[in-house]
Structure 1
Amino acid sequence: MRIASRPGVIGRIAKFHLLSSYGCDVGSGAQVGPGILLPHPNGIVIGMGVVIEARTHIYQGVTLGANSRGEYPVIESDVKLYPGAMVTGRVRVGAGARIGAGAFVYDDVAPGVTVRGPRSDASGTV
């Protein structure tokens, strides 16, 4: 996946493989840290300006993308993004946070907090 986020021929080949095999779209220029886990990579969209730090788990149908001003999220280390979660805009998701299935996140999430969807209510620290 880290290769798919790089510009150039190799990045385009890796991106084509992810997209055609799994429907997983990683924008060139996305910064992806080590240890990313995609247990079910179908339908994942990662925009070109997204920063994902180490050991993040991303489940099916997750969208990490820009807002109307072209601002992208930063996902810190050890975050879990569950199925159907959407994180858009200039948002920072703190280390160890969990974003629940179907949550729509458009504000910062503190480290260790669990956000439940679809209204994105923070339920407290982990």
Structure 2
Amino acid sequence: MKRTAGTLATAALVLPLLGAAPAAPTDPPDGRLQHAFGSAAAEYRVPQSVLLAVSYLQSRWDAHAGAPSVSGGYGPMHLTDAGTALAATEHHAEGTEDARGDNARPALHPGAGAPAPSKLPARLTTLRRAAEL
């Protein structure tokens, strides 16, 4: 009786662990993606590890079976079609409407346009300097 109870207790503890074992890998990758990253790294003189890191941050290496992600990106670098992205701008993007959707209250900054570059803080005007690097 004690032996049967011990066997059942052991089985009850071990069986759930069998389901937690890692699944056997499916087909091994053929190396095309790794080769593409290697070629891009050599062509553009960017370390391959940087390209891999950026691609992982952008897509978590989830290809979505060839379909776009929920934010419209494709592939490991989460590339987007600029034409589609620009065409799908919100209807508030032109600045003619109150983005809050409430015309009953006055706008927070009526008629305020973008400040002149000379009025911007130096920390926000680094684009030209960065482009020269």
Report the TM-score, using the length of structure 1 for normalisation.
Answer: 0.24
More helix by share: 2
* Larger RCO (CA within 8 A; separation ≥ 6): 1
More strand by share: 1
Report the TM-score, using the length of structure 2 for normalisation.
Answer: 0.23
